[in-house]
């Protein structure tokens, strides 16, 4: 019997390869390729007045040096603005190599190609660039003061200004019985996958075709972008994503300067070229996120119910806006979480600074939004002397109010309508899991022993599975194996396993019979990419839809072969049989043979489908007008709008009364992402997300000095958590299916990270009794906050 594949915590299919050293990541490929290295700006804002390569040219093993002057055609144009928006009135993007001005430390100025990376770096160090320094803008306050401009023609440093309002928020706040104002800040962090970016390109001059390998989150779009930039017909370009060592958002941006320049150089030189990003390059020349400052005004009644909420915030977008204003749009909409805000007004400015560009990092604006809303909830509870969960509960959208329209426009340009969710039930589970109601006694007891402990809570709603679409191709081979291809990419989420589960469940085959290919444009050409917790929702459903077509076709052909009504057939363990009559059966692989009428018998199986072997009516063509050969199908899933997952986290922390060291004692998660395809993998996603949330709350920040130098651009100084810093995560699930898609699933990839800063701020505030308004928080900052009586 076929085991129930969908919903089972099966082990991952990709693991045997990856635990044995048989994975193939970008830098494992192209061992014979030339190596690229880049000269990058040491200044945050400067005019490039001269690039002198004289000393560099003598180095043995040098192949080529390129500066902006060498670029031609569209390669010399600015990189694309990927997501335009009407409110992004002053978008700016960089050039593949700086065109006269550099706007952040790390911006590429010259490209070196040499026999290996050692030599390429030797050459890079010998290239003398003369800079004329310009005034530097670092931080949101400086950007808004606009004493200097990052882009000469954007004098106020404001790239975008957006207002959304539902009702008259300011009037509602004024009329409310109680009002509070809060200022809440979050600092910079970054995705920081353990593998940096990388590009490897091979040009075949005889075939006039280009193969590009990139450690990207979107191979299909890199393909279109590279073809357009280089002026090559799209049909002559293939982009392949090998195994990727983590993405977390940063690898969705494209084309990176290197994704344009490496193929460009490979074509010019007629030789394969590879660039592998090193750690410092990743820190200073990829992308960061999170830095925002928020001002909140809220009006509420005696019960803690919101009457009006007004949030004004500023988003530091760094030097360029290639990804538009997606992150602040998400903050402005997802801030609402599981609550009814009464009237709501949100206004943000996205500002330029002379720092690395800002694009989505797992959570993408949500951690900031949730921090703002949850700090506000805690402030109301404290003001009214109510339990923090009670205030939340009173503001929850109720299950019978679903679908719930928040009246706003979401990041996909579609209405912010929650499809399903049961927030009271989730809170109930969380309170039980963490022991919320018993905590006060524990806190008092700890106090009596001279210990400080606190409990915190954070709730969120996450729009997942944004469109426009993904597709999948499913084929049953004549040996019975099933091949699934989908265009989006994989960075460790276990897609080979979950998509195989979906296909196996629909087709009635063992999961071992299914192989899955992702992110290879040779296999599937139309796709969007992996971001916004969308893979399981979009490609998962596309795989299911394509597999259903294949199954229907298999039953039709089997019905003809067995001379029975296809409606009486089912498929079990790869065998089509009459329900209840196991003798009348035909293997799926035989159906695959029959699905492809043949003239030539290239093997014994094929012989069964040749023209003198098959029966059938002589009045009909071998392939009917509305049919195609092969047991295969392609289908696409395009959602009406996003599906909204939700979750609630609670944490217990202890703070040291002397040293202000912060220890997370317990961390509990209740998570609802609709139906689970593989609970083991979902739990893993939550574990990893929570670790990033804890890192972002207590350890990780990117520190720029006033000159725009990133002071901690290494793993020695940027404190990514080790095992000793990450708490054990206790998880409980709720499964509220999405009514929007056939599988009833919602996304799960980002969830774990979202409420981290909110939960830990809440818990530290509870332990300390002083307001916590800025995250991350270090022991020394907590110590300072104690002295000031606030933070």
Partner 1 sequence: MHEVSVTVNGVLRSATVPARRLLSDFLRHDLGCTGTHVGCEHGVCGACTVLLDGEPVRSCLLFAVSVDGAQLTTVEGCRAPDGGLGPVQRAFHECHGLQCGYCTPGFITTVTAYLRDHPDPTEEQAREAIGGNLCRCTGYQNIVASVLRAAAIQRGEA
List of residues contacting partner 1 (CB under 8 A): 11-12, 14-16, 18-25, 27-28, 31, 116, 118, 192-195, 243-246, 248, 278-279, 491-494, 680-681, 683-684, 687-692, 714-716, 720, 722-724, 726, 728-729, 752
Q: Which of partner 1, ligand FES, none has residue 723 at its interface (CB below 5 to 8 Å by kind)?
A: partner 1
- Count Cβ atoms below 10 Å from residue 148 Cβ, excluding itself: 15
Query: Quick one: 118 or 600, whose CB is closer to partner 1?
Result: 118
Shortest Å distance, C-beta 748 to partner 1 = 13
Shortest Å distance, C-beta 194 to ligand FES = 4
Q: Which of partner 1, ligand FES, none has residue 747 at its interface (CB below 5 to 8 Å by kind)?
A: none
Query: Quick one: 331 or 685, whose CB is closer to ligand FES?
Result: 685
Query: Quick one: 12 or 104, whose CB is closer to partner 1?
Result: 12
Site for ligand FES contains 415 (CB under 6 A): no
C-alpha dist (Å) from residue 205 to 146, 272, 571, 647: 51, 11, 48, 53
CB-based contact 569:579 (threshold 8 Å): yes
Site for ligand FES contains 23 (CB under 6 A): no
Cα(599)–Cα(747) distance, integer angstroms: 46
Q: Which of partner 1, ligand FES, none has residue 418 at its interface (CB below 5 to 8 Å by kind)?
A: none
Shortest Å distance, C-beta 491 to ligand FES = 8
Bridge partners for 452 per DSSP: 655
Shortest Å distance, C-beta 276 to partner 1 = 9
Strand, coil or helix: 66: strand
Shortest Å distance, C-beta 712 to ligand FES = 16
Shortest Å distance, C-beta 251 to ligand FES = 13
Q: Quickly list DSSP for 108-157.
A: EEEEEEESSHHHHHHHHHH-EEEEEE-----SHHHHHHTSS-SSTT-TT-
* Residue with the CB atom nearest ligand FES in the bound state: 194
CB-based contact 365:326 (threshold 8 Å): yes
Two structure tokens written together for 589:
């692989």
Cα(291)–Cα(350) distance, integer angstroms: 11
Two structure tokens written together for 384:
């009214």
Query: Quick one: 23 or 403, whose CB is closer to ligand FES?
Result: 23
Q: Applying CB under 6 A, what is the total number of residues that bind ligand FES?
A: 3
Query: Quick one: 194 or 441, whose CB is closer to ligand FES?
Result: 194
CB-based contact 539:220 (threshold 8 Å): no
Site for ligand FES contains 19 (CB under 6 A): no
Q: Which of partner 1, ligand FES, none has residue 748 at its interface (CB below 5 to 8 Å by kind)?
A: none
Cα(547)–Cα(541) distance, integer angstroms: 10
Candidates 171, 194, 703, 711; binder of ligand FES (CB under 6 A) is: 194
Query: Quick one: 692 or 762, whose CB is closer to partner 1?
Result: 692
Specify the DSSP element, H or E, that contains 787. Answer: helix 779-788
Q: Which of partner 1, ligand FES, none has residue 714 at its interface (CB below 5 to 8 Å by kind)?
A: partner 1
Which alpha helices (H) appear in 663-737, and where do they start and end? 679-698
Q: Which of partner 1, ligand FES, none has residue 430 at its interface (CB below 5 to 8 Å by kind)?
A: none
Shortest Å distance, C-beta 674 to ligand FES = 25
CB-based contact 724:441 (threshold 8 Å): no
Bridge partners for 295 per DSSP: 183, 312
Query: Quick one: 369 or 492, whose CB is closer to ligand FES?
Result: 492
Query: Quick one: 246 or 742, whose CB is closer to partner 1?
Result: 246
Question: What dihedral do alpha carbons 614, 616, 621, 623 form, nearest 10°?
Answer: -60
Query: Quick one: 133 or 714, whose CB is closer to partner 1?
Result: 714
Site for ligand FES contains 246 (CB under 6 A): yes
Question: Dihedral of CA 248/252/256/259: which sign?
Answer: positive
Alpha carbons within 13 angstroms on the beta-carbon side of residue 374 total 35
CB-based contact 288:189 (threshold 8 Å): yes
Query: Quick one: 167 or 246, whose CB is closer to ligand FES?
Result: 246
Angle at 658 between CA 656 and CA 664, to 5 degrees: 10
- Tell me which residues touch ligand FES (CB under 6 A): 194, 246, 492
């Amino acid at each position: 019997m076929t085991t129930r594949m969908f919903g089972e915590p099966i082990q991952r299919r990709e693991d045997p390869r990856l635990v044995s050293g048989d994975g193939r990541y970008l830098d494992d490929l192209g061992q014979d390729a030339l190596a690229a290295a880049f000269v990058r700006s040491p200044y945050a804002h400067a005019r490039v007045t001269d690039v002198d390569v004289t000393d560099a040219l003598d180095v043995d093993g040098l192949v080529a040096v390129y500066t902006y002057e060498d670029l031609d055609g569209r390669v010399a144009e600015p990189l694309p603005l990927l997501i335009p928006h009407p409110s992004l009135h002053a978008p700016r993007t960089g050039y593949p190599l700086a065109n006269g001005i550099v706007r952040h430390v790390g911006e590429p100025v010259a490209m070196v190609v040499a026999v290996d990376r050692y030599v390429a770096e030797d050459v890079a160090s010998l290239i003398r660039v003369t800079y004329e320094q310009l005034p530097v803008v670092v931080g949101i306050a400086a950007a808004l003061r606009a004493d200097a401009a990052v882009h000469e023609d954007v004098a106020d440093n404001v790239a975008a200004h957006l207002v959304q309002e539902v009702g008259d928020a300011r009037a509602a706040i004024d009329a409310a019985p109680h009002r509070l104002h809060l200022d809440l800040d979050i600092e910079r962090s970054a995705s920081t996958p353990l593998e940096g970016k990388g590009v490897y390109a091979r040009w075949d001059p005889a075939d006039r075709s280009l193969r590009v390998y990139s450690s990207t989150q979107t191979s299909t779009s890199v393909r279109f972008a590279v073809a357009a930039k280089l002026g090559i017909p799209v049909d002559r370009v293939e982009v392949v994503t090998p195994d990727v060592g983590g993405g977390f958002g940063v690898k969705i941006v494209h084309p990176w300067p290197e994704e344009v320049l490496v193929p460009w150089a490979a074509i010019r030189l007629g030789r394969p070229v590879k660039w592998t990003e090193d750690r410092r390059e990743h820190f200073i020349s990829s992308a960061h996120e999170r830095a925002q400052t928020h001002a909140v005004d809220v009006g509420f009644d005696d019960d803690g119910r919101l009457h009006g909420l007004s949030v004004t915030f500023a988003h530091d977008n760094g030097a360029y806006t290639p990804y538009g204003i997606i992150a602040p749009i998400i903050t402005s909409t997802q801030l609402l979480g599981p609550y009814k805000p009464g009237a709501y007004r949100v206004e943000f400015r996205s500002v330029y600074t002379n720092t690395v560009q800002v694009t989505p990092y797992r959570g993408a604006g949500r951690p900031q939004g949730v921090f703002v809303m949850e700090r506000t909830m805690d402030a109301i509870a404290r003001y009214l002397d109510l339990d923090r969960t009670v205030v939340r509960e009173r503001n929850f959208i109720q299950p019978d109010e679903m679908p719930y329209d928040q009246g706003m426009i979401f990041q996909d340009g579609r209405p912010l309508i929650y499809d399903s969710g049961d927030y009271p039930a989730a809170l109930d589970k969380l309170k039980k899991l963490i022991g919320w109601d018993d905590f006060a006694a524990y806190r008092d007891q700890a106090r009596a022993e001279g210990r400080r402990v606190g409990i915190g809570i954070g709730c969120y709603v996450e729009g997942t599975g944004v469109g426009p679409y993904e597709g999948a191709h499913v084929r049953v081979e004549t040996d019975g194996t099933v091949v699934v291809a989908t265009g989006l990419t994989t960075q460790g989420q276990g897609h080979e396993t979950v998509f195989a589960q979906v296909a196996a469940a629909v087709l009635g085959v063992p999961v071992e019979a299914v192989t899955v290919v992702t992110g290879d444009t040779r296999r599937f050409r139309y796709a969007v990419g992996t971001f916004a917790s969308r893979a399981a929702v979009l490609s998962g459903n596309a795989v299911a839809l394509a597999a259903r077509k294949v199954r229907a076709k298999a039953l039709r052909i089997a019905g003809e072969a067995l001379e029975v009504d296809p409606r009486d057939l089912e498929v079990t363990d790869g065998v089509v049989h009459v329900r209840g009559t196991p003798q009348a059966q035909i293997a799926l692989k035989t159906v695959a043979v029959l699905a492809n009428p043949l003239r030539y018998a290239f093997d014994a199986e094929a012989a069964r489908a040749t023209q003198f072997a098959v029966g059938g009516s002589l009045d009909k063509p071998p392939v009917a007008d509305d049919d195609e050969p092969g047991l295969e199908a392609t289908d696409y899933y395009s959602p009406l709008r996003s599906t909204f997952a939700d979750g609630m986290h609670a944490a217990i922390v202890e703070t040291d009364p002397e040293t202000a060291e912060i220890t997370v004692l317990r961390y509990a998660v209740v998570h609802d992402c609709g139906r689970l395809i593989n609970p083991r993998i979902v739990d893993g996603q939550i574990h990893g997300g929570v670790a990033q949330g804890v890192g972002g709350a207590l350890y990780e920040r990117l520190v720029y000095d006033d000159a725009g130098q990133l002071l901690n651009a290494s793993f020695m100084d940027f404190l990514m958590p080790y095992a000793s810093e990450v708490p054990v995560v206790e998880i409980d699930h709720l499964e509220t299916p999405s009514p929007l898609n056939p599988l009833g699933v919602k996304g799960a990839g980002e969830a774990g990270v979202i409420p981290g800063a909110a939960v830990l701020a809440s818990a530290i505030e509870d332990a300390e009794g002083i307001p916590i308004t800025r995250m991350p928080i270090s022991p020394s900052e907590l110590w300072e906050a104690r002295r000031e009586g606030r933070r």
